[in-house]
Amino acid sequence: MIIRNKLSLLVIFFFAGCSLSPGMHMETKSSWADDEKYVFIDSLGKKIRLVDISETLDSSYKTNYFYRIGVGDQISVTVWGLPETFPIVNAGLDQNLRRVDSNGNIFYPYAGLVRAEGKTQDELRSDITVRLSRYFNNPQLDLSIARFNSQKIFVLGEVTRPIKLNIEDIPISLSDAIGESFGLNTNTSAASEVFIIRQGRLKDEPIIFHANLKTPSGFFEAGNFFLINNDIVYVNSSSTARWNKVISQFFPFSTFLNSIDNLTTD
């Protein structure tokens, strides 16, 4: 995993920003167990509620999860039994891959432009098979996602290694993400102050989730809280009294994502 210099400087800026970002405050009671917890973000002109991850756990999420293809994903397609038209070559070669274009389509011979974005692997395989059936008898098609590029999450703050992770066909839990970053920094992290900043789908309101990884129940909950595209996991520093000032640096959300997209994976 490679972290470019620009991103490293940005992460350092966030740590320093805990004392530099006025205009944000938290309305809360005395503990994380209280129901009503808000932060007010000036750039949005509204309050955002903090939600404990225990309120959102869904034990069926993992078994019901299907990866949806997105722009930038690369698809490998193999047609069996028609070697003259569709020769079988090394599937690992880039020329055999179809990249989902900015319009959400891929091109495949005799099938033409096929909508891929938003479909599962099986749905796309079925669509191309139907199209090829117009020209070939009972085409046998194998399709897989060779490279997952369209969806990602970010792990920042007091972890051993800040990273960007691509979401693949197996869902990523909060504990998975923390593990991929080699865990919390044992010297500087506030394990009780782990936050997940989520923009939401379409025009949904942003939301901030809170996890307390100092407790056994918190570890269990983290394993059952699953991350979605563009989630930002932020682990606060034990020396930061005003964590909410640091979190204010993540908004406007889209601007922040553009600035940290220099994180790359091996």
pLDDT tens, position by position, for the chain (266 residues)? Answer: 444 444 443 443 343 333 333 333 433 333 333 445 777 766 666 777 788 998 888 777 888 899 999 999 999 999 998 888 887 766 555 667 899 999 999 999 999 999 999 999 999 999 999 999 999 999 999 999 999 999 999 999 999 999 999 999 999 999 999 999 999 999 999 899 899 988 766 566 788 899 999 988 888 899 999 999 989 999 988 886 666 667 767 776 666 666 666 554 44
What is the C-alpha separation between 66 and 169, in angstroms, rounded? 7
Task: Give me the pLDDT at residue 93, please.
Answer: 56
Region at 175 (left for phi over 0; alpha for psi -120 to 50; beta for the rest)? alpha
* Selection from 37, 17, 26 nearest residue 250 by Cα: 17
Task: Give me the pLDDT at residue 219, please.
Answer: 85
Task: Give me the pLDDT at residue 96, please.
Answer: 74
For the entire predicted model, the pTM comes to 0.76
What is the C-alpha separation between 124 and 83, in angstroms, rounded? 22
Task: Give me the pLDDT at residue 261, please.
Answer: 62
Q: Which amino acid is at 127?
A: D
Distance of CA 61 to the CA centre of its chain: 15
Task: Give me the pLDDT at residue 15, please.
Answer: 39
Task: Give me the pLDDT at residue 232, please.
Answer: 92
- Which residues, at least 6 apart from 233, have a Cβ–Cβ distance to it below 8 Å? 153, 154, 155, 156, 157, 174, 177, 178, 194, 195, 196, 227
Task: Give me the pLDDT at residue 88, please.
Answer: 75
Cis amide leading into 83 (omega within 30): no
